[in-house]
Amino acid sequence: MAEITAPPANKRDEIYAAMKRLLRDAQVVKRAHFIAAQRKRKKSNIIGISVVVLNLLITSGLIEVTIGNQSRITIAIKLISFLAAALAGIQTIFNFQKEIECHTNSGDVYSSINHRISLIMAEYHEKPANRDTLYTAFKALDDEYLKANDDSKLCVPTDSDYDKARADIEKKRGEGKKDSKAGSVDDKGPAAT
């Protein structure tokens, strides 16, 4: 296989723009996976706690104390038992824990890509002599990103997860711009706030 070499200087801005796109995409997908994991964990906890509470209600004797009629007690216990079993079945069928782990692991992969592309971009700017090596590293990360997309097909975040991820990133960028303006220093000293 031929060695990958960086394109000529007039293409460098395009390379940096591609790096920025990869960084942005990795940030959005990472955040979307973590949002999806959080959403699934919340659903799992709600269902799990509901099952426990319903079973405690059945075994505690509170139903017998609050309902005087024996036939109504029997009906109430059967309904609550059915509801607890149905919720436990839902939790088993949807296997929330497996999906939580899948989203978390996928988010970790994209987080690693995000971190490494940030380092490559910084070095690309600071050390022009290393651009051939950095271009090769960038292409490898781009391939890793595509592989991560293929590997995470079992746990795809929803459109809503992606929308929340984009909104979170934009919000943080907006806050970062405010912070950088307040703390920036130029020839005249710190920027006025």
192 falls within a domain: no
- What is the rounded distance in angstroms from the CA atom of residue 112 to the CA atom of residue 189? 36
Residues 6+ apart with CB under 8 A from 28: 162, 165, 166, 169
Q: For residue 89, is pLDDT > 70?
A: yes
Question: Residue 23 sits in which domain range?
Answer: 11-167
pLDDT attached to residue 27 = 97
Q: What CA–CA distances, in Å, run from 162 to 20, 82, 87, 157, 158?
A: 18, 36, 28, 7, 7
186 falls within a domain: no
For residues 29-58, average pLDDT? 96
150 falls within a domain: yes
pLDDT attached to residue 169 = 93
Q: What CA–CA distances, in Å, run from 91 to 16, 35, 54, 83, 111?
A: 46, 19, 15, 12, 29
Structural tokens at position 22: 């990869």
> Strand locations in 71-183, DSSP E?
none
Type of residue at 117 = I
174 falls within a domain: no
Q: Enumerate the β-bridge partners of residue 185.
A: 190
Q: For residue 6, is pLDDT > 70?
A: no
Reported confidence tier of residue 28, pLDDT bands at 50, 70, 90: very high
Q: What CA–CA distances, in Å, run from 128 to 47, 132, 133?
A: 55, 9, 10
Helix (H, G, I), strand (E, B) or coil at 191: coil
146 falls within a domain: yes
123 falls within a domain: yes
Structural tokens at position 164: 């929340």
Reported confidence tier of residue 4, pLDDT bands at 50, 70, 90: low
Q: What percent of the chain has pLDDT over 90?
A: 66
- Residues shown for the chain: 193
At which residue do the structure tokens 């824990």 appear? 97
Type of residue at 33 = H
As to burial, measured by CB atoms within 10 angstroms (0-12 exposed, 13-18 middle, 19+ buried), residue 32 is buried
Structural tokens at position 94: 């949807």
Greatest Cα-to-Cα distance within the chain, rounded to the nearest angstrom: 87
**Residue 162: how many other CB atoms lie within 10 Å:** 18
Q: What is the domain count for the chain? A: 1
182 falls within a domain: no
18 falls within a domain: yes
Task: Name which residue leads in pLDDT, 176 or 53.
Answer: 53
Reported confidence tier of residue 131, pLDDT bands at 50, 70, 90: confident
- Taking the mean position of all CA atoms in its chain, how far away is CA 185? 35
